[in-house]
Amino acid sequence: MNDIAFEFVQQLGTELSTGNLKLPAFPDVAVRVKQVLESDDVSADKVAKVVGSDPVLTARLLKVANSNFANRSGAQIKDLRTAVARLGYDLAYSTAVSIAVEQIMDSKSVDTIRDQLKALWQHSVNVSAIAYVIAKNHSNVNPDEAMLAGLLHDIGKYYIYTRAKDHPELFDNPESIEELQKNWHTGIGHAILEAWHFSDDIANTASDHDDLQRVHLGKPDVTDVIITANLCAYWEKLGDDFDWDKVTASQRLNLDHAAIQAILEASGEEIQSIMRALGC
């Protein structure tokens, strides 16, 4: 590790240990959607009112509601209340979160690392779509929760990239930045999601999604789904020789190589539809 990388790691370590991460503000519209969903008298009308205050979220929510995966009847929806009622509150919130992360990513301050962030966002949306399919068809995990977790599981990488942009020398050595991501993004991601007041289950997917031998007692949980979906997103890169029998999460889901291949082939159109709906 060179001196610049070492200095950056020391900085990350100090921020993480002291809880003094320089967090980006979670965009206001997502916060307001979360607040109304947590209220005792939540209704589709109230959610639609909050969504309607943001034209970007309004357009995205209608796009999701009319997408192939959410709209089996083919009847087009043009009003927000019906869209919220069709999608449900959790999926409406996942849509708000997808907009929020994009807004963080699209800041002018990240122009120098936009390509890296775009690739990372593409991966996150892919994992989110695969997680939705796996949760819906092969577990008792709420598929909307799995979708949300998929969108956020790599949030620590966004943080590292946005902090590393102030040290452009780090990007001269791809191996160096990759090592930083590998060693630090999970702990930082967990800290960010806690600070943004996501549930422990969602935060744990950020910290544990790279643990292929994760020990978990009981039924498969959302982290098992995200671990498996994250690997599925690298399906071609992993190749036929990858030993799924060593992945405890996929074993708990009772998914081996052949079963996962069948899922990806059978659900390919649905996965692509979800990704398009979420903005990819």
Euclidean distance between CA atoms 118 and 124, whole angstroms: 10
Q: Which residues contact 213 (CB under 8 A, 6 or more apart)?
A: 246, 247, 248
Does residue 19 sit in helix, strand or coil? coil
Average pLDDT of the residues of the chain: 86
CB neighbours of 243 closer than 8 A, spacing ≥ 6?
Answer: none
pLDDT exceeds cutoff 90 at 266: yes
pLDDT of 1 strictly over 80:
no
Place of tokens 């498996």: 228
- Residue 221 phi, psi (nearest 5): -115, -175
Check residues 45 and 18 and name the one with the higher pLDDT: 45
pLDDT tops 60 at residue 94: yes
What domains does the chain contain, in order, with CATH numbers?
3-277 (1.10.3210.10)
Q: What share of the chain is helix, strand, coil (3-state, %, to 5)?
A: 70, 0, 30
Q: Is the pLDDT of residue 108 over 80?
A: no
Quick count: other Cβ atoms within 10 Å of Cβ 259? 14
- The pLDDT value recorded for residue 205 is 97
DSSP, res 240: T
Contact 228, 255 (CB under 8 A): yes
pLDDT band at 28, cuts 50/70/90?
A: confident
Q: What is the pLDDT of residue 23?
A: 64
